[in-house]
Amino acid sequence: MRSGLAISPIGPWGEPQRIAELAALAEDSGWDGIFCEEYLIRSDGMEAHDVWLTLALVAQATSRVTLGTMVTPLAWRQPWTVAAQAVTLDRISGGRCVLGVGSGDGDVESRLSEINRTPGQLAETLDRRLAVIDRLWSGRNGPILNPGPVQRPRIPVWVGGAITRPGPRSRALRWDGSCLYRLPPPDWQDVTAEDVASLRSDADAAGKPDFTICVGGRQRADDRAADLRYLAGLEAAGADWWTEYVPPTLSYSEARALIKGGPLRP
């Protein structure tokens, strides 16, 4: 099971150059991936920088780690723009890009666009925009982006959302992987080993032996031994990734020390 770092260009030390520096440190310290949340404007007023420009700097500062968004609120983005951004990042990084997607809560976006969408409408929009991106990458039934992505048949698409809900779960199984959670903050619950085993079984039944299961999204717990037991259970159940969240509320020196110390390994 590989170890990812969830660190985003938000907060007092979230400038793209600093995130790139931390990503280089993470690569040197044994982390396997750098994943960033995508925010246009934070509802809490926290500083937020463009995730794609940040990840371009991360790609140039690293040579090995997987990198991508986790997640892009695709129901609120133009699919052709996201498709082109992801292709550019894939090419800059030499084929290391992952596109994580979700419907997003839409709080800021709905106020900016003056459009309110129900959860069902957001889900339908997400599916339509994923189909557009896939067509732009493949050229099926329409124009193709040229140049296209390095990775074939496409850049991996990982789907977020609640693993306990049938919609996000079935959507993830139609694509390349999942970055599903159990309950979102503030009512956080960890995805369980049983959740992972069930999703792995469903992926195998769907004929997807290479389906990627990424679990995580929370800060390291104070009980290191308990976390190690939990990670060992996830790995045994078939998880491919664990991502550890580094909150922007930490000081820069605290975040740097945590990253330099390397990931937890079961």
- pLDDT (tens digit, 9 = 90+) per residue, 211-232? 999 999 899 999 999 999 999 9
Please state the domain extents for the chain: 38-240
Could you tell me which residue, 179 or 40, shows the higher pLDDT? 179
Q: Which of 44-48, 64-68, 136-140, 179-183 has the highest mean pLDDT?
A: 64-68
Write down the pTM of the prediction.
0.95
- Calculate mean pLDDT across residues 188-193: 94
CATH superfamily of 38-240: Luciferase-like domain (3.20.20.30)
The whole-number average pLDDT for the span 186-215 is: 95
What does the pLDDT read at residue 247? 95
pLDDT at 183 (0 to 100):
82
Sign of torsion over alpha carbons 61, 211, 101, 154: positive
Q: What share of the chain has pLDDT > 90, as a percent?
A: 87
Rounded to whole angstroms, the Cα distance separating 87 from 144 reads: 12
The more confidently predicted of residues 54 and 185 is 54
State residue 83's pLDDT score. Answer: 98
pLDDT of 93-124, one tens digit each? 999 999 999 998 767 777 776 677 888 999 99
- pLDDT (0 to 100) of residue 106: 67
Q: Which two tokens stand for residue 242?
A: 């664990």
- How many Å from the N-terminal Cα to the C-terminal Cα in the chain? 9
CA nearest to 127, candidates 159, 162, 86: 159
